Amino acid sequence: MSETILITGGAGFIGSELVRQTLGRGDGTRVVVLDKLTYAGNRANLEAVEQDPEQAARFTFVHGDIADPEVVGPLMAGATAVVNVAAETHVDRSILDPEAFLRTGVIGVHVLLEAVKVEHQRAGRGERGPVRFLQVSTDEVYGDIEAPQRSVETDGLAPRSPYAAAKASSELLVRAYHITYGLDLVMTRGSNTYGPHQHPEKLIPLFTTNALDGKPLPMYGDGMQIRDWLHVSDHAAGIAFVLRNGVAGEAYNVAGEHLLPNREVIGQLLAATGRDWSLVRTVPDRPGHDRRYAMDGSKLAALGWRPRVAFETGLPETVAWYRDNPAWIASAKTGDWDAYYARQYGDRLAAGQAVDTTPS
Ligand code: NAD
Ligand code: DAU
């Protein structure tokens, strides 16, 4: 019998890429998306599958909240696998308003796990086949990693922002449900992801769209924070790989293997947009800003998976996608965008300064 995968948060950046890849395999797999359509969810991200008659026939969209058991229960009953991509995902917003992060990241994940438990018990009575659940997590659960260390999956969790704390809490719930109830659960910890369809609140799309518009680029602090960059197609492929090959109860780093300081990312982005450093402002830092993330990807590599897209090609292609899709950018900068931007950047940009780019 063909699979039915429930992808929560499938109207977002990574979730919609996972939907496109899954349906694009053309192997008969059906996909159900459950998405609350928060400010970050965008139906336009699913246009490609909804406009393809063959893929659309295997696709269902449900507008709803993972924290609502009435919605989740029936969807879980029809699923052979579940990938929980849904979350509140922006660190800066978690500093301004943490509660939504806990509602989705803790209560929402609890509701999903309870529904998996019901289906697992039904499977035990022979009433249905098995169900596997994958929780999409992040390298931020490891906290700030000093060079030259790289996080491995057995390291302790040391989150430092409300966002990261909510993600770590989800992981602890998943671990507990695997140990206590024997559910088939796996987790991925992805690194900083970039590519088309990412909400413009995040570094690369924010700086790209601002640069294209000739607006200032607000660089936090000295811009020497280090992130590990992973293309969205690789992140989604890594999730699908772990869903198929991961061992129950285990977490897997999905590393980009491409560590860069923000200044280097900004330099490459300016080159790709044809702008220069005069647009960049150094602004007051993010509170508790993690200096460096770095993961060791060898556990997944040993199973046969590695990222494929080089940052040097992925970044200019991403910039070109934003340049070519002004209607999509406009659809993402709706809702609370102007109010959020003013709250997050108004005072910061007023205090901002030009960046010294003279070589030391
Ligand atoms: P995103 O913000 O683009 O999308 C999140 C999606 O989840 C949206 O469609 C939103 O509407 C939906 N959603 C939010 N709350 C919901 C709820 N309660 N019920 C149902 N749907 C809900 O996020 P993203 O960047 O694609 O991240 C996806 C996942 O990957 C998240 O779990 C995030 O923590 C994780 N992650 C992201 C990155 C990254 O760099 N973007 C890196 C590692 C891990
Ligand atoms: O590491 C994985 C995480 O990557 C994911 O779990 C999160 O969901 C995702 O949002 C991302 O978190 P970051 O905080 O690393 O991403 P962000 O794009 O917000 O910031 C990247 C770096 O750029 C970080 O050092 C902060 C800096 N930055 C960001 C913004 C938005 C700026 O200097 N200026 C900005 O305006």
Note down pLDDT in tens along the chain; length 360 residues: 689 999 999 999 999 999 999 999 999 999 999 999 999 999 999 999 999 999 999 999 999 999 999 999 999 999 999 999 999 999 999 999 999 999 999 999 999 999 999 999 999 999 999 999 999 999 999 999 999 999 999 999 999 999 999 999 999 999 999 999 999 999 999 999 999 999 999 999 999 999 999 999 999 999 999 999 999 999 999 999 999 999 999 999 999 999 999 999 999 999 999 999 999 999 999 999 999 999 999 999 999 999 999 999 999 999 999 999 999 999 999 999 999 999 999 999 999 999 978 765
- Is 346 part of any domain? no
Task: Please indicate, yes or no, if residue 245 is contained in any of the structural domains.
Answer: yes
Counting from 1 in the atom list of ligand 1, the atom nearest the Cα of 34 is 20
CA–CA dist 159, 172 (Å, integer) = 12
Q: What amino acid positions are annotated as catalytic residues?
A: 139-140, 163
Q: How far is ligand 1, taken at its centre, from the CA of residue 9, in Å?
A: 6
Residue with tokens 């998306």: 33
| Residue 152 φ/ψ region, left for φ over 0, alpha for ψ in the -120 to 50 degree band, beta for the rest | beta
Contact predicate 1/220, CB 8 Å = no
Phi, psi of 237 (to 5 degrees): -65, -35
Among 263, 224, 272, 190, residue whose Cα is nearest residue 14? 190
Residue keyed to tokens 């993402």: 332
Total structural domains within the chain: 1
Query: Is residue 200 within 6 Å of ligand 1 at its C-beta?
Result: no
For residue 64, the CA-to-ligand 1 centroid distance in Å is 14
In a domain, 144, yes or no: yes
Three-state secondary structure call for residue 158: coil
Q: Which of 8, 14, 71 to mutate to test the pocket of ligand 1 (most atoms within 8 A of CB)?
A: 14
Domain-embedded: residue 87 = yes
| CA 345 – CA 327 distance, rounded (Å) | 23
Domain CATH number, residue 30: 3.40.50.720
Q: Please list the alpha-helical segments (H only) found in 226-325.
A: 232-245, 262-273, 298-303, 311-324
Domain-embedded: residue 263: no
Residue 178 lies in domain = 4-194+232-257+289-311
Q: What is the pTM of this model?
A: 0.98
Report CA torsion sign: 307, 312, 313, 315: positive
CA distance 32 to 278: 46
Residue 360 lies inside a defined structural domain of this protein: no
Domain membership of residue 97 (yes or no) is: yes
Which DSSP category does 90 fall into?
-
Is 102 inside a domain boundary?
yes
C-alpha span between 23 and 45 (Å, rounded): 14
CB 227 within 8 A of CB 262: yes
Rounded to the nearest whole angstrom, what is the distance from the C-alpha of residue 202 to the centroid of ligand 2? 6
